[in-house]
Amino acid sequence: MARATPQRSSDAPVDAIALLKQDHRTVEALFEEFEDADEQEQSQLAERICNMLSVHAQIEEEILYPAAKEALEGEDEEDLVHEAAVEHESAKDLIAKVEGMTPDDELFEATVKVLGEYVKHHVKEEENELFRALKKTDLDLKEMGSQLAERKYALMEEMGIEAEEPPAPQRKKSTARTKTRASSAKARQARAGSRSKSARNSGRAARH
| 29 and 82 belong to one structural domain | yes
| 56 and 159 belong to one structural domain | yes
pLDDT attached to residue 2:
38
pLDDT attached to residue 162:
80
The residue range of the domain holding 110 is 16-166
| 34 and 118 belong to one structural domain | yes
Residue 9 included in any domain: no
| 162 and 197 belong to one structural domain | no
Residue 201 included in any domain: yes
Residue 7 included in any domain: no
Query: Does residue 121 have a pLDDT over 80?
Result: yes
Contacts of 112 (CB under 8 A, 6+ apart): 31, 34, 42, 46, 49, 98
pTM exceeding the 0.85 threshold for the entire prediction: no
State the average pLDDT over residues 8-19: 72
| 132 and 186 belong to one structural domain | no
Are 6 and 161 in contact by the 8 Å Cβ rule? The answer is yes
pLDDT attached to residue 181:
43
pLDDT digit string, tens, across residues 136-162? 999 999 999 999 999 999 999 999 988
| 22 and 100 belong to one structural domain | yes
State the average pLDDT over residues 87-100: 96
- Report the percentage of the chain scoring pLDDT > 70: 72
pLDDT attached to residue 13:
59
Higher pLDDT, 173 or 105: 105
Are 77 and 133 in contact by the 8 Å Cβ rule? The answer is yes
Query: Does residue 208 have a pLDDT over 90?
Result: no
| 186 and 89 belong to one structural domain | no
pLDDT attached to residue 12:
53
pLDDT digit string, tens, across residues 174-203? 444 444 444 444 444 544 454 444 444 545
- Report the percentage of the chain scoring pLDDT > 90: 65
| 118 and 206 belong to one structural domain | no
Residue 187 included in any domain: yes
| 119 and 53 belong to one structural domain | yes
pLDDT attached to residue 78:
84
State how far the Cα of 77 lies from the Cα of 87, in Å rounded to an integer.
Answer: 16
Residue 81 included in any domain: yes
| 93 and 185 belong to one structural domain | no
Residue 2 included in any domain: no
Tally of domains within the chain = 2
| 42 and 144 belong to one structural domain | yes
